[in-house]
Amino acid sequence: MSLLEFFYGMGTATDIAYYSYIYSVVDINLYQQVTSYCRSATLVGYTVGSVSGQVLVSVAGWSLFSLNVVSLTSISIAFATAWFLPMPQKSLFFHHLSSQRRSFEMKVMECKNGAAVQDHPDVQRAPGWEDETKVPLNGEGHSAKKQVNIAKVLKDLWQDFLQCYSSRTMLCWSVWWALSTCGYFQVINYAQGLWEMVLPSHSADIYNGAVEALGATFGAVAVVVVGHIKTSWAMWGEVALALFSLLIAAAVYVMDTVRNIWVCYSSYVIFRIIYMMLITIAT
């Protein structure tokens, strides 16, 4: 079990690496939509896996070991596929932004989510400023003699960190992200153990796979919808954060205290839908 959790943690960590990669190869105006598409794709895959597992166990009579073999094969294919993804041709972090540009980006983040440049077409950019999605990694247009100074890179990253987290909105969402992600993985890791206590699998038919698929499907729909909503999350974000966080807490509490398997299933689906919606907004 410890080995399982170790590799599960390693696999989960690659989620952050992938988002860092995908944001470096798309235009900044598309971040919100790309986030929704990526999370939807993940949830659709989760749905397919859950449905397939439920059918293979309930109908075809496969053993759980066979499902583990299928899972290992799928992960191996995904690992091999990652090596063929195109390398990013532009830098997301390692270039200089003027202080005027930094200040403008933070103001845009405060007042509007997504499509930052489109929402402010008349903004006067500082001389020499380049769109962050246009800065090449291969040094094109720059002196070939320039070398990366590690100390300066670390200094720039530290300044970016201070600049980003001077925003109360970003700080609030980041703290929520860290805490909610920990809680989310706790719930999904131990939910099926709770269901086993409520209704032992040896005494009745179980539909854990179907419930996982249902939660992932509705979560994917919610993510797509959120990805296309144009609203000021700086204005409504904290209200939505507080309200939906309370709903998440209520769903988890009900799932833990009400010893009815169908109530547990329903609470779990609601929990996953709300979490996926909020984490997409936060991203």
Per-residue pLDDT tens digits for 61-70: 888 788 888 8
Helix ranges restricted to H, 59-90: 64-82
Structural tokens at position 186:
């706790």
Give CA angle at 258 (255, 262), nearest 5°.
70
| Least confident piece of the model among 9-13, 38-42, 121-125, 267-271 | 121-125
- With beta carbons less than 8 A apart as the criterion, state whether 170 and 10 touch: no
The Cα–Cα gap between 262 and 255 comes to: 9
| Spatial contact of 35 and 220, defined as CB atoms under 8 Å apart | no
Q: How far apart are CA 253 and CA 242, in angstroms?
A: 16
Phi/psi-derived region of residue 158, left when phi > 0, alpha when psi is between -120 and 50, beta in every other case: alpha
40, two tokens? 């939807």
Helix (H, G, I), strand (E, B) or coil at 213: helix
Residue-level pLDDT at 103? 52
Q: What is the pLDDT of residues 141-174, one digit of tens each?
A: 444 444 557 887 788 888 888 887 887 777 887 8
Contacts 24+ apart (CB under 8 A), 107-111: 109/167, 109/169, 109/170, 109/234, 110/167, 110/169, 110/234, 111/232, 111/234
Q: Who has greater pLDDT, 187 or 27?
A: 187
Q: Give me 83's structure tokens.
A: 């090596």
Higher pLDDT, 16 or 109: 16
Q: Who has greater pLDDT, 217 or 138?
A: 217
pTM of the model: 0.63
Neighbours of 265 (CB within 10 A): 23
- In this structure, are residues 184 and 251 in contact, taking their beta carbons and an 8 Å threshold? no
Domain positions in the chain: 30-69+168-282, 99-164
**Pick the residue with more confidence: 228 or 95?**
228
Three-point CA angle 216, 235, 126, nearest 5°:
105
Which run of H or E residues covers position 84? none
pLDDT tens digits for range 90-114: 665 554 444 445 455 555 545 544 4
Grade residue 249 by pLDDT with cuts at 50, 70 and 90.
Answer: very high
